[in-house]
Amino acid sequence: MKITVTQEDIDNNGKSIHNCPLALCLKRTLKLGEDKYRIAVGTKTATINGETYQLPKTLINFVWDVDNKRQVKPQTFEVNWDLSRSCFI
């Protein structure tokens, strides 16, 4: 699955595990709405509806850059997650 972190996600960075740019991207992509607790992004994992998924190296680097206040740009990432564990399909 491809996910795209947009400039809007970056601009709306809430600086928490529930509303960082990647969390905002995942909420939009997975159509989760405003329920901020359904997604939490860590430095190496994303938890979606209680299921934890490993971030690919490219996303780990992106999250690290955001956490360290480096400038990031909109990007598209490939994730190979079986989201059926999180009841999305």
Q: For 19-42, how does the pLDDT look when each residue is reduced to its tens digit (9 = 90+)?
A: 999 999 999 998 877 766 689 999
Query: Is residue 87 domain-resident?
Result: no
User: Taking Cα atoms as reference points, which of 75, 46, 5 lies closest to residue 13?
Assistant: 5
State the total domains in the chain.
Answer: 1
In a domain, 54, yes or no: yes
Confidence class of residue 89 from pLDDT cuts 50, 70 and 90? very low
State how far the Cα of 11 lies from the Cα of 16, in Å rounded to an integer.
14
- Within a domain: 86: no
* Region 36-50 average pLDDT: 89
73 occurs within a structural domain: yes
Bridge-based pairing state of the strands 45-48 and 51-54: antiparallel
